[in-house]
């Protein structure tokens, strides 16, 4: 009965392309777990929603700090699934009613999670465990940073579209979540300046800052 990030990345696409109604239900499950994700973010001092590494009813069920605390890419997988669902089905009603809130809260988490590096002159995400669960507590896991960047960009785009195409729904969401006018632009700025590990000499993206060492 446990749900992991694998659900959105590996299982969700199968249902999306064979039974979209079931895919929608998988996303509704994540919406119903949004309060648990918010509670987890608050526990660790972040904003928005920090989706659990493993859960049953929305709250973190892992007692392993190196996974439950440090595998922070789960929310990005949820945003990715929302994006793929919308691109495939065009179900704007789902986006306005549920999806926009999820992607906005994931973006808020990343905006509070990144750190500005004076040395790199970019934002970084230090001390995480990416999908390679044997590389624990690394800096700038490439997958995590890529997905955070995509989540921030998508959330900004969704809220701008919502403000134009569903202004009443946008106003209600904005007021309920206390979204400030500058937040979507700030998300875009973070995404544009987020460091992505790349080794120019070898021409490859490094898994994290220290992987090749």
Instruction: List residues with catalytic annotation.
Output: 133
User: How far apart (Å, rounded) are the C-alpha atoms in residues 29 and 33?
Assistant: 6
Q: What are 204's strand-pairing partners?
A: 199
Q: Which of 138, 137, 148, 23 is nearest to 74 (CA)?
A: 148
How far is Cα 63 from Cα 76, in angstroms, rounded to an integer? 22
Burial class (CB in 10 A: 0-12, 13-18, 19+), 65: exposed
Rounded Cα–Cα distance for residues 194 and 182 (Å): 18
Q: What are phi and psi of 134, to 5 degrees?
A: -90, -10
**Closest CA relative to residue 143, chosen from 12, 5, 3, 4:** 5
End-to-end CA distance of the chain: 38
State the residue for tokens 């069920």.
Answer: 61
Residues near 54 by beta carbon (within 8 Å), at least 6 away in sequence: 2, 3, 4, 60, 61, 62, 67, 68
């Amino acid at each position: 009965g446990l749900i992991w990030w694998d659900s959105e990345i590996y299982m969700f696409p199968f249902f999306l392309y064979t039974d979209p109604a079931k895919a929608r239900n998988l996303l509704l499950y994540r919406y119903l777990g949004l309060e648990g994700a918010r509670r987890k973010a608050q526990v660790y001092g972040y904003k928005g929603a920090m989706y659990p590494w493993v859960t049953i009813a929305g709250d973190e069920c892992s007692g392993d700090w190196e996974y439950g605390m440090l595998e922070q890419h789960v929310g990005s997988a949820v945003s990715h699934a929302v994006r793929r669902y919308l691109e495939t089905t065009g179900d704007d009603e789902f986006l306005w009613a549920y999806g926009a809130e999820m992607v906005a809260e994931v973006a808020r988490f990343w905006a509070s999670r990144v750190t500005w590096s004076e040395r790199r002159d970019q934002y970084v995400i230090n001390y995480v465990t990416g999908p390679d669960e044997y590389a624990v507590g690394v800096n700038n896991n490439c997958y995590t940073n890529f997905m955070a960047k995509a989540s921030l960009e998508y959330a900004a785009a969704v809220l701008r579209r919502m403000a134009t195409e569903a202004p009443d729904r946008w106003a209600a969401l904005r007021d309920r979540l206390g979204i400030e006018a500058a937040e979507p632009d700030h998300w875009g700025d973070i995404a544009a300046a987020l460091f992505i590990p790349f080794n120019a000499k070898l021409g490859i993206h490094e898994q994290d800052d220290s992987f090749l060492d």
